[in-house]
């Protein structure tokens, strides 16, 4: 088991012939992910060579790619201008799981895409935009995570699920667990944009239901109220032990810390408020990623 993606997941890459799409699409393929096709309008019929041998076919549209390959997931690596259309094209073609790594999509576009999916394609899940992607170690890696930093899960467990709002802190969390030899069931980077397709609660729900996940690490950051809402959900629904870290304790108020979402104003969205809410929900909160890793090591030992 794992959440959202596993060894059977067939993936196409929208933008496979572009710089980022090719580099990361091939890395995902080399990791063992079933990358069955690429989509670039106008380049259908060509293919992208795999360095170790073989090639990945390129199609003109997602619909063609799905018809030919049976893909159920898509990895979108196209520029911000083209990203909204790419997401909606994938959804219309019946893709069930879309990972969009594109950074810099206008918030108005994101809000429109999110609500269009909600209404017209309720069975499609969007991860991102502006996220590192998802990895179920040893099974499937979609996105830009370096697969080698993810510790493989063990059959007997305990294994840990990771959900994070920040890209690089997702890697940091994987790394902290790897250092301690703790297996990871699935690691989801939900992204730091104001309107993420998948949120903490969506992932926590899946992790709670996943028999292969025994504990959960959550990495949040300042801004918005996603962590507070997650804390409410945890209190009522999550029985698996958790540790967490919130980035931005020292961030000055009123300054956007890079992510469009990461800003505190009027005392709202602060790291302290989020940490308090999580602690009140029974989550062990570390003051830095390493401490969150240490706390998880204690949890795992007790399981």
Partner 1 sequence: MDLFEYQGKQYFARFDIPVSPGDVAYTVDEAVAAAEAAGYPVVVKAQVQVGGRGKAGGIKLADNADEVRLHAGNIIGMDIKGHLVKRVWVEHASDIEKEYYASYSLDRGAKKHLLMLSAEGGVEIEAVAESNPDAIVLLHIDPVDGISLATARDAAVRAKIDAEAVDGVAEMLVKLYRCFTEGDCDLAEINPLILRPDGGVHALDAKVSLDNNAGFRHPEWDEFRATEELDEREQLARTHDLQYIGLEGSVGIIANGAGLAMSTLDVVNQVGGAASNFLDIGGGANADMMTAALEVINSDQSVKSIFINIFGGITRGEEVAKGIVEALRRVELRAPIVIRLDGTNAEEGRSILANAGIPESKLTSKPTMLEAARAAVALANGTN
The residues of the shown chain that bind partner 1, judged by CB under 8 A, are 20, 24, 80-81, 101, 103-109, 111-112, 114-116, 119, 132, 144-146, 149, 164-172, 175, 192, 194-195, 219, 221-222, 224-226, 229, 245, 247-252, 255, 257-262, 266, 287-290
Of the pair 66, 188, the CB lying nearest partner 1 is at: 188
Of the pair 242, 262, the CB lying nearest partner 1 is at: 262
Taking residue 206's Cβ as centre, other Cβ atoms within 10 Å add up to 20
Closest CA to 218 of 209, 237, 231: 231
* Residue 168, both tokens: 């690089």
Rounded to whole angstroms, how far apart are CA atoms 262 and 256? Answer: 6
Give the number of C-alpha atoms closer than 13 A to the C-alpha of residue 199, restricted to the C-beta side: 13
From the CB of 86, what's the least distance to partner 1, in Å?
16
Identify whether 259 is a catalytic site residue: yes
Of the pair 144, 216, the CB lying nearest partner 1 is at: 144
Of the pair 66, 219, the CB lying nearest partner 1 is at: 219
Taking residue 282's Cβ as centre, other Cβ atoms within 10 Å add up to 13
**CA distance from start to end of the chain:** 19
Beta-carbon contacts of residue 266 (< 8 Å; ≥ 6 apart): none
Closest CA to 17 of 9, 29, 46, 66: 46
Coil, strand or helix: which one is 29?
helix
Of the pair 124, 164, the CB lying nearest partner 1 is at: 164
Closest CA to 301 of 158, 172, 176: 158
From the CB of 170, what's the least distance to partner 1, in Å?
8
From the CB of 107, what's the least distance to partner 1, in Å?
5
Of the listed 259, 264, 283, 284, which one is catalytic? 259
Closest CA to 181 of 147, 200, 153, 203: 153
Burial code (b: 16+ CB inside 10 Å, e: under 16) for 156-182 equals: ebbbbbbbbbbbebbbbbbbbbbeeeb
Of the pair 60, 112, the CB lying nearest partner 1 is at: 112
Residues annotated as catalytic are 259
């Amino acid at each position: 088991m794992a959440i959202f993606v596993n060894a059977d997941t067939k993936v196409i890459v929208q933008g496979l012939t572009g710089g980022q799409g090719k580099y990361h699409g091939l890395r995902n393929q080399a990791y063992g992910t079933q990358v069955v096709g690429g989509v670039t309008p106008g380049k259908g019929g060509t293919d992208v060579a795999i360095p170790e041998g073989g090639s990945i076919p390129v199609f003109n549209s997602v619909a063609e790619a799905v018809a030919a390959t049976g893909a159920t997931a898509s990895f979108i690596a196209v520029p911000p201008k083209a990203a909204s259309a790419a997401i909606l094209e994938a959804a219309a073609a019946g893709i069930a799981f879309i990972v969009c790594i594109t950074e810099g999509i206008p918030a108005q576009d994101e809000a429109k895409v999110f609500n269009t999916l909600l209404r017209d394609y309720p069975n499609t899940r969007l991860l991102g935009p502006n996220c590192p992607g998802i990895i179920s170690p040893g099974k499937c890696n979609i996105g830009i995570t370096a697969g080698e930093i993810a510790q493989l899960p063990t059959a007997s467990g305990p294994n840990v699920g990771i959900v994070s709002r920040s890209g690089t802190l997702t890697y940091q969390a994987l790394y902290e667990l790897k250092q301690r030899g703790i297996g990871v069931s699935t690691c989801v980077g939900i992204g730091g944009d104001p309107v993420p397709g998948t949120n903490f609660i969506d992932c926590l729900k899946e992790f709670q239901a996943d028999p292969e996940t025994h504990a959960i690490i959550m990495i949040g950051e300042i801004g918005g109220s996603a962590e507070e809402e997650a804390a409410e959900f945890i209190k009522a629904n999550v029985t698996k032990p958790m540790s967490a870290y919130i980035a931005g304790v020292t961030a000055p108020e009123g300054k956007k810390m890079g992510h469009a979402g990461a800003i505190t104003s009027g005392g709202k969205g602060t790291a302290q408020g989020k940490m308090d809410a999580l602690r009140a929900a029974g989550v062990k909160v570390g003051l830095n990623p390493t401490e969150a890793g240490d706390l998880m090591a204690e949890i795992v030992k007790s399981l």
